[in-house]
């Protein structure tokens, strides 16, 4: 997840660089962020918010810091505030980050909407990479990893509880249950996770991570 997030951090200095190079709380927050001092950056961003200066930009930095600290729910809340900014670039970056978070959770429809909304307000490399991310989401529903097939839905639910930590660490988002009919007409409950544009992409992800036993298969039509 970290590699995809970087695309929306590259021009952060440009976003704030329009201001005079004075020692404002916001500039200090940015400097601390660039040094990977997340907590210190947060403290300065809060000072900017409390002073009423550059509130939306400070909210965006708060979201970035919380994301780096793996406080995803808090990060999302800050990005939601920044996404209301009157500054198009701040609004675009914050909305794109909401797309990143949604994608990491397996909420692909929500992620698609976020990237679509963010794109008009992004520029340069950010805009191109957001468009690429959107294309990936639009074409990534063909293959998935299947972690089991069960006759009882309760067993499929238990399976998800067991594998949830492993698949999230692998960046697959949340698992889901798809249904299909056996040759005898019985319902089979399939536990699946991840969306991939090709069989090779799915197979590569399976071998790169210490995942529970799984197979590559096509996404069922009833999947989210």
pLDDT tens by residue, 2-13: 433 444 553 455
The reply to whether 13 and 107 lie within a common domain is yes
The reply to whether 115 and 185 lie within a common domain is no
Helix (H, G, I), strand (E, B) or coil at 145: strand
pLDDT tens by residue, 161-208: 999 888 888 878 788 898 888 777 889 999 998 877 778 888 888 888
Lowest mean pLDDT segment, chosen from 12-21, 122-131, 151-160: 12-21
Helix (H, G, I), strand (E, B) or coil at 88: helix
pLDDT tens by residue, 17-65: 554 445 689 989 988 998 999 999 999 999 999 999 889 999 999 999 9
Spell out the residues 6+ positions from residue 127 whose beta carbon is closer than 8 angstroms to its own. 119
pLDDT of residue 6: 44
Domain boundary among 139, 173, 207: 139
The reply to whether 162 and 175 lie within a common domain is yes
For residue 166, what are its two tokens?
């492993």
Question: For residues 100 and 8, is the Cβ–Cβ distance under 8 A?
Answer: yes
Residue 114: band (very low, low, confident or very high) from pLDDT cuts 50, 70, 90: confident
Lowest mean pLDDT segment, chosen from 29-38, 83-92, 137-146, 168-177: 137-146
Stated pTM of the model: 0.60
Neighbour-count burial of 63, counting CB atoms closer than 10 A to its CB (0-12 exposed, 13-18 middle, 19+ buried): buried
Helix (H) or strand (E) holding 193: strand 187-196
Please state the domain count of the chain: 2
| CA-based nearest residue to 2, from 100, 127, 141, 81 | 100
| CA-based nearest residue to 113, from 77, 138, 90 | 138
Within a domain: 224: no
Enclosing domain of residue 21: 2-139
27 vs 48: CA distance, rounded Å: 9
| CA-based nearest residue to 51, from 78, 17, 15, 25 | 25
Average pLDDT for residues 143-148, to the nearest whole number?
Answer: 91
12 vs 61: CA distance, rounded Å: 9
| CA-based nearest residue to 92, from 103, 100, 82 | 82
Within a domain: 223: no
54 vs 39: CA distance, rounded Å: 19
Average predicted confidence (pLDDT) for the chain: 82
60 vs 62: CA distance, rounded Å: 5
The reply to whether 178 and 121 lie within a common domain is no
Identify the bridge partners of residue 178 per DSSP, sorted by sequence position: 190
């Amino acid at each position: 997840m970290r590699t995809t997030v970087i695309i929306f951090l590259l021009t952060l200095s440009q976003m704030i660089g329009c201001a005079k190079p004075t020692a404002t709380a916001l500039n200090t927050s940015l400097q601390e962020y660039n040094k990977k001092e997340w907590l210190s950056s947060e403290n300065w961003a809060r000072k900017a918010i409390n002073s009423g200066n550059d509130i939306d930009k400070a909210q965006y930095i708060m979201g970035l810091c919380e994301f780096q600290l793996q406080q995803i729910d808090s990060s999302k809340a800050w990005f939601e505030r920044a996404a209301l900014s009157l500054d198009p670039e701040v609004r675009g970056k914050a909305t794109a980050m909401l797309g990143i978070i949604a994608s990491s959770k397996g909420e692909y429809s929500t992620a698609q909407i976020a990237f679509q909304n963010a794109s008009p307000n992004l520029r340069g490399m950010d805009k191109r990479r957001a468009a690429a991310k959107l294309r990936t989401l639009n074409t990534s529903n063909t293959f998935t990893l299947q972690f089991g097939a069960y006759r009882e839905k309760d067993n499929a639910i238990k399976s998800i509880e067991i594998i949830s930590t492993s698949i999230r660490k692998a960046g697959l988002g949340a698992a889901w249950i798809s249904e299909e009919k056996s040759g005898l007409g019985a319902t089979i409950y399939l536990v699946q996770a991840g969306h991939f544009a090709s069989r090779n992409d799915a197979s590569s992800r399976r071998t790169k991570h210490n995942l529970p036993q799984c197979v590559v298969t096509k996404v069922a039509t009833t999947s989210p």
